[in-house]
Structure 1
Amino acid sequence: MPAPDGTPTVTPNGTDPRLVAEAHALLRDVVGLDPTGIEATFRTWNAGRLDLLPTAEAPTQVPHLSAELLAAARLLPGPARTELHPEDAARFAVQVEQALYASTVILRASGRDAAGLLADEDLVRVLGEAQGSWRTVVAAAARAGVPTPCLATALASYDALRAGRPPAPLHFGTRTDGRTDGDGALPTPGAADRAEPSGA
């Protein structure tokens, strides 16, 4: 049973607590589950592939919002809540599990064993099968106004790996950028390029 404050006493195995919090928010605010339903969903997930993941370490730093900031934030407008049809809600809950699993795999691989990840054909296949649901979940969270920074960041990391490079930063100083289509460098417009002619 959930704790008196509604917090589940059962959470998905092997996942980052921040991802768990985002999954919990999606099941509550988008799917419309109560604490008992959320805990039952987590139990079902734990009986599947999440049970194969090793225990995740807790984050070293959890963002803290002051009482003053929380009070002021209540004035911010958000999207109207849309209630899902029961069949759509059940389907979305399955998609949240897929997004949670894929995000856990990617966040663990980023910066450590990305090469090993890409060499595992079975894992690549699983990520490929999950990516559609993953994108649906992140998009639905944005439409519903549910913050999911970890799920979205993991998806962006997946796309960066898939594309073979991260998005190129925009610089406004005089410098050159490396080419990806051959040798040499591409000039980046700088202050000198934008300066007006003297005497103008």
Structure 2
Amino acid sequence: MGRNLARNFARNGFRVAVHNRTTSKAEALVEEFGDEGDFTLARSLEDLVGALERPRRIVVMVKAGDGTDAVIDELTPLLDEGDIVADAGNAHFADTRRRHAALAEKGIRYAGVGVSGGEVGALEGPSIMPGCDADTYAELGPFLEVASAHVDDEPCCTLIGPDGAGHFVKMVHNGIEYSDMQLIAETYDLMRGPLGMEPTAIADTFREWNGGELESYLVEITAEVLAHTDGETGRPFVDVVRDAAEQKGTGRWTVQTALDLGVPVTGIAEATMARSTSGDTERRAAVREALAVAEDPAGAEVSVEDLAAALYAAKVVSYAQGLDMVRNGSTENDWDVDPADLARIWRDGCIIRARLLGDIADAVEEHPDAPSLLATPTFAALVADRLPALRRVVAAAVASGTPAPVFSAVLAYVDALRAERLPAALVQGLRDYFGAHTYGRVDKDGSFHTLWSQDRSEVDA
């Protein structure tokens, strides 16, 4: 991605100095793509810094964590006050906040820049989510906006907020991506199992869906993957790939941060756990052998139309949960992030780009005080219309023994939000019984405790 982002800048008319710790990689870039723009090969960080006009704008794209700190430590002594270091890797937002504060003490400006779109997006125009001070964006933003994807001449890039806001939003973006991919995988599994469809037929269905309301990058490439045949065996490609999904950490970070913020992102959480379950092959094998029971497919009736409606509704819920998390994170960190901006810059260039994001941007902008995307008139109606299909899909999954953790979690989440009264009252009673954790009452203000081990009278807490 770093190489392609450099090419993107050069293609757009910027003079680009390139450096890599492995010099041969930078040399190969200039040799192979030097005709695409004005490149300067920097064989050392000193050469890189010396090749740039002030204030210097240095984009770093290396492995998150210690690798990023190491590069910053090497760069810092070479920079002058007012120079800009932009980390375009998948850094944890807390690390970005720390680095921003540390470099600010030295007069160096720091930007945490979320970039989504993969290698192709980095070259052709990604969605870019910068987090930095306004004066830093004034210097850096014009370059990022030109390099980003565009929709109706609008760049898929905007200032998200200060310090770690950009990387926080990119983290949540990746969490939504986890949920979206798992929902697509569960849809495929239900087509393959209860519906008995072959991968080529499923590919045709996803291709058809991509021409309607489900149009999105992930639905588009799902059709491509499912239609692919393994060249060595002649079998469907999806049948020769190990069913153990990997992860690089952003989904886990999203779930951990959501727990800290007290925001339920159940779809993202179940998608992350599904990857962990898929990789736990030894435990899976043991339980599969121990619980080898025949499933009764009776009642596992579901249609392709139901799956399309359920997938759309579940996608909406995934975006809703992600935007809820952004709102809470923005409030917690005093970032003032505008959720409508996110929906707009995610419309193209990024992995979760989808047709419905335009409608999401409009709904959030028209109803900024709505506590959830699901509470806006547009999406309340859309989800309500598809809720029966979602319920049928989950029922069919249960009846057929087909695991559908994200579909199930999404349905439970919606049902929980719709319930007039939840069983949390009993949970509070239990907590008070064994730990004197107190409870509130529906008929008066205050906190109370029941003397369970005495006369069970109630006292003010």
TM-score, structure 2 normalization: 0.33
Native 8 Å contact 1:30 1:83 kept in 2:
no
In structure 1, the partner of 2:285 is 71
After superposition, give the CA deviation of every residue in 1:52-71 in whole Å (9 maximum; x if it has no partner). x5769x87242143332232
After superposition, give the CA deviation of every residue in 1:20-46 in whole Å (9 maximum; x if it has no partner). 111111111111111111111111211
Higher RCO (CA 8 Å, separation ≥ 6 residues): 1
- What code does the residue aligned with 1:143 have? A
Aligned counterparts, 1:97-136, within 5 A:
97-110=308-321, 112-113=323-324, 115-136=371-392
Q: Per-residue deviation at 1:47?
A: 1.2
Q: Per-residue deviation at 1:164?
A: 6.1
Q: Per-residue deviation at 1:127?
A: 0.7
In structure 2, the partner of 1:161 is 417
Structure showing the higher strand proportion among its residues:
2
- What code does the residue aligned with 1:33 have? M
Q: 1:125 to 1:83 in 2, by over 3 A?
A: closer
Native 8 Å contact 1:175 1:188 kept in 2:
no
In structure 2, the partner of 1:179 is 441
Q: Secondary structure at the match of 1:32?
A: coil
Q: 1:186 to 1:157 in 2, by over 3 A?
A: farther
Native 8 Å contact 1:30 1:144 kept in 2:
yes
Native 8 Å contact 2:307 2:389 kept in 1:
yes
**Which protein is bigger by CA-based radius of gyration?**
2
Q: 1:181 to 1:18 in 2, by over 3 A?
A: farther
Q: 1:137 to 1:55 in 2, by over 3 A?
A: closer
In structure 2, the partner of 1:50 is 214
Q: Per-residue deviation at 1:166?
A: 5.6
Q: Per-residue deviation at 1:145?
A: 0.4
Q: Secondary structure at the match of 1:24?
A: helix
Aligned counterparts, 1:84-99, within 5 A:
92-99=303-310
Q: Does 1:40 align with 2:302?
A: no
Return 162-171 or 29-38, whichever deviates more.
Answer: 162-171
- What is the total number of aligned residue pairs between the two structures? 173
Return 165-174 or 100-109, whichever deviates more.
Answer: 165-174
Identity of aligned residues (%): 36
RMSD between aligned alpha carbons? 3.2
Q: Per-residue deviation at 1:116?
A: 4.3
Structure 2 spans left out of the alignment, 5+ residues? 1-176, 220-246, 252-271, 325-369, 456-461
Native 8 Å contact 2:296 2:399 kept in 1:
no
Q: Per-residue deviation at 1:83?
A: 9.8
After superposition, give the CA deviation of every residue in 1:55-98 in whole Å (9 maximum; x if it has no partner). 69x872421433322322332224134598xxx66xx1111111
In structure 1, the partner of 2:181 is 17
Native 8 Å contact 2:295 2:401 kept in 1:
yes
Q: Secondary structure at the match of 2:214?
A: helix
What is the rounded CA distance, in whole Å, between the counterparts of 2:451 and 2:316 in structure 1? 39
What is the rounded CA distance, in whole Å, between the counterparts of 2:400 and 2:436 in structure 1? 42
In structure 2, the partner of 1:143 is 399
After superposition, give the CA deviation of every residue in 1:175-196 in whole Å (9 maximum; x if it has no partner). 3222345423464685x369xx
- What code does the residue aligned with 2:317 have? I
After superposition, give the CA deviation of every residue in 1:111-142 in whole Å (9 maximum; x if it has no partner). 63472414421211111111111111111111
TM-score, structure 1 normalization: 0.71
Q: Does 1:80 align with 2:296?
A: yes
Native 8 Å contact 2:191 2:202 kept in 1:
yes
- What code does the residue aligned with 1:79 have? E
- What code does the residue aligned with 1:139 have? A
